[in-house]
């Protein structure tokens, strides 16, 4: 991935889970990485370790649900680094509950971060990328957007919405030199999943034909591929990285 060296990448939700794996992967190939999150302590620890290894990574505290804050942060990225090449639109939360029990605030919080936040960051990044005539946006969806999931009306709605926005943006921005794609992860062994009881993790693993959970690094590799020149003619696709779960 030599084409990625020195490019400027923003990873939202970069302090933990899939976002942290993406920050590490992009840093390893020589990009300049902006880690955006609200988890100050986790982000500081991640960034300090990577900087100590010689990587160019910095943390910026950004609430993706706040459009003004996003616009200001994205403008600062362009000013600080002189460019923006890649947005990994990864930030997301869950507030699970069945339809009959879900409260308004549970629904609204997930919509604000997972859908409005993706929109805010995508719009702000696209303005900079279109002005330069190049760039790549990778949005994080989920396999649950393709087949639903019990107790996740809000989360599934946002992840399905992300797929829809990805396709719209690919149509709108492709002619302007900006590619937009999405990754739909399956069950991945993030810190949160690893903390679940072994019985639950085994049940999740057995749902996929490969009979295992995915690794965060495998999602990060998908992000990296779609952001790179190796995917130069891929636009508007949804890449399922799920071990065959959706078959």
SS3 of residue 1 by DSSP:
coil
Report domain extents, the chain: 2-240
Angstrom distance (rounded) from CA 235 to CA 136: 9
Write out pLDDT tens, residues 174-189.
Answer: 999 999 999 999 888 8
Is 147 one of the catalytic residues?
no
195 has pLDDT over 90:
no
Mean pLDDT of all residues in the chain? 95
Region of residue 123 (left: phi > 0; alpha: psi -120 to 50; beta: else):
alpha
Catalytic residue among 59, 147, 155, 223: 155
Task: Specify the pTM.
Answer: 0.95
Please say whether the beta carbons of 217 and 21 come within 8 A: yes
CATH number of the domain at 2-240, please?
A: 3.40.50.720
198 has pLDDT over 90:
no
CB neighbour list of residue 161: distance below 8 Å, 6 or more residues apart? 115
Place of tokens 């994080």: 140
Angstrom distance (rounded) from CA 220 to CA 23: 8
Write out pLDDT tens, residues 23-79.
Answer: 999 999 999 999 999 999 999 999 999 999 999 999 999 999 999 999 999 999 999
Percent of the chain at pLDDT exceeding 70: 99
Backbone φ and ψ for 175, nearest 5 degrees, come out as -70, -15
Report the 10 Å Cβ neighbour count for 195.
8
Please say whether the beta carbons of 219 and 185 come within 8 A: yes
1 has pLDDT over 70:
no
């Amino acid at each position: 991935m030599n084409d990625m060296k020195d490019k400027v990448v923003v990873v939202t939700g970069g302090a933990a889970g899939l976002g942290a794996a993406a920050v590490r992967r992009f840093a390893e190939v020589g990009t300049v990485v902006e880690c955006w999150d609200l988890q100050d302590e986790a982000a500081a620890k991640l960034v300090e370790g990577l900087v100590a290894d010689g990587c160019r990574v910095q943390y910026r505290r950004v609430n993706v649900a706040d459009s003004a804050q996003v616009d200001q942060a994205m403008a600062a990225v362009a000013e600080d680094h002189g460019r923006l090449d890649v947005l990994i639109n990864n930030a997301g939360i869950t507030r699970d509950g069945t339809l009959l029990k879900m409260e308004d605030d549970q629904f609204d919080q997930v919509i604000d971060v997972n859908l409005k936040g993706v929109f805010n960051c995508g719009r702000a990044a696209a303005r900079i990328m279109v002005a330069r005539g190049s760039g790549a946006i990778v949005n994080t969806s989920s396999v649950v957007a393709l087949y639903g999931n019990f107790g996740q009306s809000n989360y599934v709605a946002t992840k399905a919405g992300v797929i829809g926005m990805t396709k719209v943006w690919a149509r709108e921005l492709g002619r302007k030199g900006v590619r937009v794609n999405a990754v739909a992860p399956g069950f991945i062994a993030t810190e949160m999943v690893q903390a679940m009881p072994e019985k639950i993790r085994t049940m999740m693993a057995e749902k996929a034909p490969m009979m295992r959970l995915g690794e965060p690094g495998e999602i990060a590799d998908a992000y990296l591929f779609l952001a790179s020149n190796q995917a130069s003619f891929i636009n508007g696709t949804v890449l399922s990285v799920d071990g065959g779960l959706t078959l």
